[in-house]
Amino acid sequence: MFQYLSSRVAGIFLFLGLVVLRISAWADANQVWLLGKQLNWGCWFKEHYGFPCPTCGMTRSVILTMHGDFHNAFLLNPAGPFLIAGLLLVALVALRLPLAGLKEIKSRQLALGLSLYGWVFACVMLGQWTFKLR
């Protein structure tokens, strides 16, 4: 019973975190705003080594995805939309909402799915980094 309840609480907090991000942050291709204040960030990695890091553009990509601008989000970093899709899926599974006819996802299946997702996410991020370096 407690495990079932804690899973739902985790799903609720994950979903609420995404909602708060959607409400409080805004971005375009060059800048990020948080609570209406422009954040003047730069990539430390790029400033010191002269080329982008694997996560360059990820913050803007995630925020643009949350605002529905999938095209620009994908152009900045394709891992951003992939991350948001994965987080939403995990939140839905944790909330125990029915997904396309799936009845119950067991913890072993969830662990395997999350591991597979993590590997695919890493490949997407490293793939886009390799592409940017060329």
Query: Containing H/E element for 37?
Result: strand 37-39
**Could you tell me which residues come within 8 angstroms of residue 52 by beta carbon, excluding any fewer than 6 positions away?**
43, 45, 46, 129, 132, 133
- Rounded CA separation 19/38 (Å): 20
Mean residue pLDDT across the chain = 84
- Rounded CA separation 116/120 (Å): 6
pLDDT for position 1: 47
**Could you tell me which residues come within 8 angstroms of residue 43 by beta carbon, excluding any fewer than 6 positions away?**
52, 53, 56
- Rounded CA separation 87/14 (Å): 8
3-state SS of 90-108?
Answer: HHHHHCCCCECCECCCCHH
pLDDT tens for each residue of 39-98: 988 788 888 888 888 888 899 999 999 999 999 999 999 999 999 998 988 888 777 665
Domain boundaries, the chain: 2-133
**pTM of the prediction?**
0.79
Report, as an integer, the average pLDDT of 9-31.
Answer: 91
pLDDT for position 2: 47
**Which of 6-15, 57-66, 95-104 is modeled with the greatest confidence?**
57-66
